[in-house]
Chains A and B, each alone.
Chain A
Amino acid sequence: MHNITDEQVDFILEDIKANGVILEDLQNNLLDHICCIIEHEMPEGEDFYRFYRKILPRFFKNSLKEIQEETEILLTFKNYYAMKRTLKISGLASALLTITGATLKTLHLPGAGVTIVLGGLLFSLVFMPLMIALKFKDEEKQVDKWVFTLGFLLAIGASVGIVFKLMHWPFANILMRSSITAFIFVYVPVYYLTRVRRAELRFNTTVNAVLMMACGGMLYALMNLGYSLKLEESLYSANNFTEASKKDLNSASTELFSEEAASDTLKAMRELSRNMQEKIDAIKNDLIAFSEGIPSKKAAGFNVSQLSDPNNTDVINKHFAVSTGELSRQALEESVSAYNKELKAYFPEKEELQIKLEKLQLEKTNLIVVLNALSQVQLQLANNEYSLLLAAR
């Protein structure tokens, strides 16, 4: 048995490294194995280096690096199957969650949001990235790898955008619009042009491109859906009607009111009512000014049909509902409560004239709805004043 020296061990290790084996585990295995062969099989008197050169080809066909490549292939294949299994499970789960979420949402049942978000995120953050990885591995042509990657990235953007849109989260529109636009006008043409020239793919490519164009086009058409124009017009006319009725009632009250004949109670109520109406006008002007980005003075006399963004929710949810100033929702509630208290003190029998502000929607809604609600409050104030004046005659 040949006793191997430390120099010989170093020589073998360096040669293994020089042959391109970089996995340390494998280097150690090969080193020990080669040392064992030399120790057990080298004939007495044989030259170490000659024997080493003679036995080395036992490890490979062309080069020593093949062992490392073979190891990597075996390990990658294991990941490949695990990825395919995860792809199937995540795909099925996201499809089931999305369908369940959509059904719950349509039926206005609880749990719709969380189900649809889980489905959408599983689809865009697990299923789609795995598709990219697998396509990158499976597709032979370099151009196909990149084209599919582009398509899947845009699909991720679009699906995240749709989930955000459904949940009313920020950046939904920009995500959806940019992804779907790029999908239709960049990806589909690129997909078609890179594949249609290959005879074996021509039919499938044409069918797929038409399907993608049709689906993308329909999503594109859905993207800009807001309130219908007819619905918006009906809200404007309701607002204008309320405003006109309020004006008529206020004029009728002015005609009915006589400084000399009116009791002190009636005078106080009339003043309170007018102050309240003015305060509400100021609140409306403030909301319009905030939404339009103009000074409050300019907002006075602004007709609701002139609003550039009647569906603005930020002005309600981030300004009116949360601020604490004189023109906030909180201040309005306090004024209405004070009005109700006075009314009850002066006219305890007129319970029906109390303003029930809690029945109006003043939060989690948009500008036009709140403006309409405020006009309704003003109309009731005018109506109360007129009925009290009429009763006093």
Chain B
Amino acid sequence: MYVCSMYTSELIKGTLKTIVLTLLKENGRMYGYEITQRVKDLTDGKIQITEGALYPTLHTLEKNGEVGIEEEYMGKRVRKYYTLTEQGQVTAREKINEFADFISTMKFLLDLQPKPGHA
């Protein structure tokens, strides 16, 4: 129900919000299907966001005031475009910084950084 990918869900759980906020930051406004496709393209299919995980996250971000919506009629159906609010911009920055810090900590913890002299 979360994020489907070649990675285990434990590994990716908790990053969905960061992914969505970052994509919106870079692309301006996006709709749900577009977000899933962009993630799939950018990661060569390694990370595929499932719809079951995406929409609850988008709704939460909307309720928190981190994303705003613009509705457009596509014939008989309504398309909701999501955009970052000012608060969302701040959250996006915080999330990216937090994640970057997490990665460097994990690199250190798991001893993944090439050590000088080993090269």
A-side residues, CB < 8 A to B, are: 4, 6, 9-10, 13, 23, 25-26, 28-33, 35-37, 40, 58-61, 66-67, 70-71, 73-75, 78
**With an 8 A cutoff between CB atoms, is B9 at the interface?**
no
Pair B77/A67 contact, Cβ less than 8 Å: no
Q: How large is the interface on B (under 10, 10 to 19, 20 to 34, 35 or more residues)?
A: 20 to 34
B-side residues, CB < 8 A to A, are: 1, 31-34, 37, 50-53, 55-60, 63-64, 74-80
Chain B residues whose CB sits within 8 angstroms of the CB of A25 once the complex forms? 59, 80
Chain B residues whose CB sits within 8 angstroms of the CB of A40 once the complex forms? 33, 37
17 A-B pairs with C-beta separation under 8 A = A6-B76, A9-B75, A9-B76, A10-B76, A26-B55, A26-B59, A28-B77, A31-B77, A32-B80, A35-B77, A36-B31, A36-B33, A58-B51, A59-B50, A67-B52, A70-B56, A71-B55
Pair A33/B60 contact, Cβ less than 8 Å: no
Chain B residues whose CB sits within 8 angstroms of the CB of A78 once the complex forms? 60, 63-64
**Of B34, B37, B55, which contacts A29 at CB under 8 A?**
B55
Q: Which among A32, A35, A40, A75 has the greatest number of chain B C-beta atoms within 10 A?
A: A32
Pair B76/A32 contact, Cβ less than 8 Å: no
Main secondary structure, interface of B, reads helix
Pair A28/B55 contact, Cβ less than 8 Å: no
Chain A residues whose CB sits within 8 angstroms of the CB of B51 once the complex forms? 30, 33, 58-59, 67
Chain A residues whose CB sits within 8 angstroms of the CB of B57 once the complex forms? 74
Pair A58/B50 contact, Cβ less than 8 Å: yes
Q: How many residue pairs bridge A and B at CB < 8 Å?
A: 78
In the bound complex, how far is the Cα of B79 from the Cα of A216, in angstroms? 60
Pair A61/B1 contact, Cβ less than 8 Å: yes
Pair A6/B75 contact, Cβ less than 8 Å: yes
Pair A74/B59 contact, Cβ less than 8 Å: yes
In the bound complex, how far is the Cα of B51 from the Cα of A248, in angstroms? 101
In the bound complex, how far is the Cα of B77 from the Cα of A54, in angstroms? 21
Chain B residues whose CB sits within 8 angstroms of the CB of A74 once the complex forms? 56-57, 59-60
Chain B residues whose CB sits within 8 angstroms of the CB of A75 once the complex forms? 59-60, 63
Chain A residues whose CB sits within 8 angstroms of the CB of B79 once the complex forms? 32
Chain A residues whose CB sits within 8 angstroms of the CB of B32 once the complex forms? 29, 32-33
In the A-B complex, list the 8 residue pairs whose CB atoms are closest, starting with the nearest: A36-B33, A71-B56, A70-B56, A74-B60, A9-B76, A59-B51, A28-B78, A71-B59
Since A29-B55, A67-B51 are in contact, a sample of 16 more A-B pairs with Cβ atoms closer than 8 Å, ordered by chain A residue number, is: A13-B77, A25-B80, A28-B78, A29-B32, A30-B55, A32-B33, A32-B78, A32-B79, A33-B55, A60-B52, A70-B52, A70-B53, A71-B60, A74-B57, A75-B60, A78-B64
In the bound complex, how far is the Cα of B59 from the Cα of A13, in angstroms? 19
In the bound complex, how far is the Cα of B75 from the Cα of A9, in angstroms? 9
Known pairs A67-B56, A75-B59; A60 contacts B1 (CB<8 A):
yes
Chain A residues whose CB sits within 8 angstroms of the CB of B37 once the complex forms? 40
Chain B residues whose CB sits within 8 angstroms of the CB of A35 once the complex forms? 74, 77
Q: Which among A23, A59, A61 has the greatest number of chain B C-beta atoms within 10 A?
A: A59
